[in-house]
Every structure is written in structure tokens, then in C-alpha cells.
Structure 1
């Protein structure tokens, strides 16, 4: 699959099929992010919401509902809910990580301030709960409320484990299952629930979202050490500078000799980073082959996502979601 040919990208094909519903989702987002009394809220929210993100998570909700034959309106509200939760977490994450760039643009906390980012994120969380209540489904509320709690738990776990060289791949997977995969899984699951799909189909959708989210985050972490910043919207080495132990580094630490381990302890645990340290880190990661080993892990999770979809009725959307799992890993060469 050529990554340069937009017509071949599954998320673009999915967006074309769901264009009508996504238009309604975007209209609802713009309406609900408004504030009569606090103009700072739509200013900050619009900066991130209108930044050209792929809207992958709300598309998963729409696709799951459509694949299960849903013909009502609540999938639009749920897709907007999912995007609000996602946007709120991004606003909070950029404050925690002291990030300066998101999707190729300055972050909201850099353009305004940390207080604005945190409070607007809180506002979007509140809006998301208002929207999910409007679906009159206690099960949907339970799924999305639980996902919100798991996301926060994953972020706190990352904060405590990220700079500890004792962090294992198992802990790393627990972190990314919380901070990323939880919302992917919930986005897919609520699409099936709102469509009143069979329980086996709802579980398959959840399993797909969980595996896709894990694969997606592993690749994102991989791209931080080998991606094109103009394409990813992130600066190469951001995770290194923020002292985050992600899978490429965890694997490199596990394979390190005493001298190499001392280097990782200095730059990650102690935060004593100097000019040239990123290049040395990249050299160690390359030396131990951890980029390819990490990519293989992402492929395992992509295969699990595709296997989950295999239990759902065959359709064009199912084919696009299958291709999406492949594309997530194909972003890295």
C-alpha cells in the first residue's frame, strides 16, 4: 500500500463513506463547544478540533453502528462524545507533558496558558457527559464513563512508570491500553451497543478497538524515534526529551550492557541530557534492533484486531476497518 496515494488510505476511504454522518458530527461538535459566557472555551477548543485531525475515533463509532445496521441518530451524538473525550485528554496531556507542538501546530497551553488548557479540557469532559446522557442508554454511559476513568488511570500510571528503568513491557502495555486503547475500544463498542447488535458482535467490536488502539500507540511511540516530523506533527525525540520509557527504549534497556544502561539511567531516570544524547539513544536503539522488534509487536496487535473483525458480517466497512489495522503499522517502514 502506497502511503503517498491518499485514495489508498483506509481512513480516507472510510471518511468518504461516512461523510454525511461525519458532517453532522462536526456540526454538533461546533455547536456544543460554544460557550455564551466564556469565549476562551471555543477559542481553545477550535484551535485543536479544527487542526486537521483524522477524527479516527468518532469514525470508528459511526462505522461500528453502520456495520451493525443502525439507522437512528444517537451514533452521531456518541461520535461527538468520543471526540470531546479525546480532545479533553489531549489538552490535559499537553500540559502534563509540557508539549509545544500538536498536529504540526503550537499547543493550546503554549498559545494561551496551562490554566486555560486544563479548564477547557474539563469543560469538554462535561459536554461529553451531557451528550452521552441524551442517548438514554445507561450501558453506553457506563462504557464511556469507565473508559474516561481508565484513560486517566493510564496517564497516572505512565507518570509514575515512565522514568523508571524497571518498567517492563507488561507495564508499558498496561499504560497504553489505558491512555489510548480504552477510547478506541469504547468508541467501537458503543457503536455496536447503540445498534442493538448481538453480544458476540459487540464484544468483537470492543476487541477490535482495543487491539487497534494498542497497535496504533506502539507505532506512534516508534515514530517518535524514526518518523518524519512534517508528517507526524511531532518533533522527533519528544518522548526522549520528556523521559518517557516507551517500547523501543524498554527493549533497548533490556538488551543493554552496563555502560549502555548507565547512559539510559542518566538521560531517562536522572534527566541529565546533553547535546548528542538523542543521537546516541537512536544509535543504541538501532544497534539492538529494537525498532524492528517493536514494529513486530505492533503487527501482532494489528493481526489480533483483524481476527476480531473476522467474526462480524462481511461488508465494505468491515473491509476498510481490516485495511485500517494494516495501515496503522504500514505508517512505519
Structure 2
């Protein structure tokens, strides 16, 4: 590891195979926590390359516990984290909204590393028990249209670095990897990123795969569509900048999306969105993220049609009913 660190400190880049080997060694415990923390720090001080990201991804996918749910042709909706905004669980709420609208979802998530509440935190608050049992996951898909995959159960490397990530409490390249290593390798993906270089990086990475995708970024730094500013959406076909007003939404303030100070706070906001008692800002930001996810699956539909489907899922109670069934099946 010493030679690798010297190489990186001299502003050199890793090749794809080299990055793959390094991550395999991390998973096998060949480096101590100080060395892993130093490696992580390098990628906070400079952008990760496509080759490095693909190499790290290759290692995690090779070491993953695979899950075959491809007959459902599901979508994953996820943000990289690390935007420092401490929003409530927008992508998780969007997942249940999309599932309630009739589209299969396989959510790959973890505990919050840089915010109060990650997807796994809010799931645990609802009594959900995480499982790696494929029969249970398939039952969840068949009965609820959604399955939840707690990342450490499927990726030993992510579990191995969890203490270092939590101790550092800053975004790391593992935030970047999480969305790329859903063990199902879903057909569709909506990914939120916290800056424009990452939007380009993921776009290049996805274009080299068979995934149908949209990468989104709010220009004021959110790793999701926040409706607090203009936002950019990149797909395999084009890139476009939207304003909230241009698609029929109000423009909101950062404080409107705050996730609170505790996991319990975040879970309460999540519940209010699902049961229809949230603020308009909280509801709208879930609707728009769900709408763009639906648009990835059904690109022939207009954005207006996708917004209407997402809004109807929440307003009709379908999303809430999906959540209740999911909790019952997975408790």
C-alpha cells in the first residue's frame, strides 16, 4: 500500500486493473484503517477517473453476492450522498411512489454515512428486517413491487470499510460506487450526483453498459432533483437543464427539504410524505424524482404524463399501501 499511496500523492492515476486489485485487497483486510483512510483522502482531493471508478466497480461486482431479479426489469433510484445537504429520504420515498405507480423497484441502500438518515436507517425505523434470502426478496417483489437490498449483506468490501467511512464522516469514493454495484444490476437506474464532473463521469460509465439511465444534479449542489434551483438531467441520448417553473413546480428553499437532527425526525418526514400530510415542498420533490424515474422506464411518455403518474401514486394512497405491504412482508 505504501507504494500505491506514494503514486497517488504524486498525482498519478490508477489503471482499471490496479484499482480492481486494490479494492479486492481492502475487502480481504490486507490494509490497516489508517492506510484505507489515506487512500480515501486522495479521492477527496482530486476527481476519480473513469478507469479508477470502473476498476473499483469491477472488484465489488466480482465479490458481490449476486441476486437474480431481472425477470422484473426493475429500477433503482439512488443518490451518491455526500452533498452535505442533510435532506430527508427523498430517493427512498420516490422508490415507493414509483412502485405504487406499478413499476418494479429494487432499492440498494445503506446507513447514512454523511447525513443523519440513509435508506437503511429509515427502513429499520419501520421494523424492516434486512435479508439476503433470494426467495424472500422475490416474494417482496411479487407482493409489493419493491425489494430492499441492504448493501453490506451483498458486498463484503462495503462492510469492511464501514467503520472508516463512519469515522471520517465525509463523502468518499464509496459513495460514488454504491449506485453502480446494486447486486441485481438493474435494467434501469435514476442516479443523483452532487456535482457536474460526477454527472459526466457516471454518464460515461453508464454509456459503456447496458443500463438505461438518467443522471440528475441540482446546480446548487444537491444529489437529487431538489426544486431549489435549476437542475441538469443526462441520459444516453441527451443532456438538458430544467428550472422548477418550466415543469410546473414552485421553487423551494433549502430549509424546506431538511431531514432533521435524528433518524426519528427523518422517518417522521418520510411517513408524512407517504400518508399525504407533508408540506407541499416535501411532496413535490418526491414527485419530481419519481417522475424522472418513470420516464427512464417509459421514455415514450412525456414528462408531464410521468409527473401525473407519480402524483397519482401518492395522492391516491397507492404509494402508502405499497409501503404498508412492504413492511408487513419484510418485518
Band the TM-score falls in, shorter-chain normalisation: 0.3 to 0.5
Specify which structure has the higher proportion of helix.
Answer: 1
> Counting strand residues as a fraction of each chain, which structure ranks higher?
2
User: Which of 1 and 2 has greater Rg?
Assistant: 1
Q: Which has the higher contact order (CA 8 A, sep 6+)?
A: 2
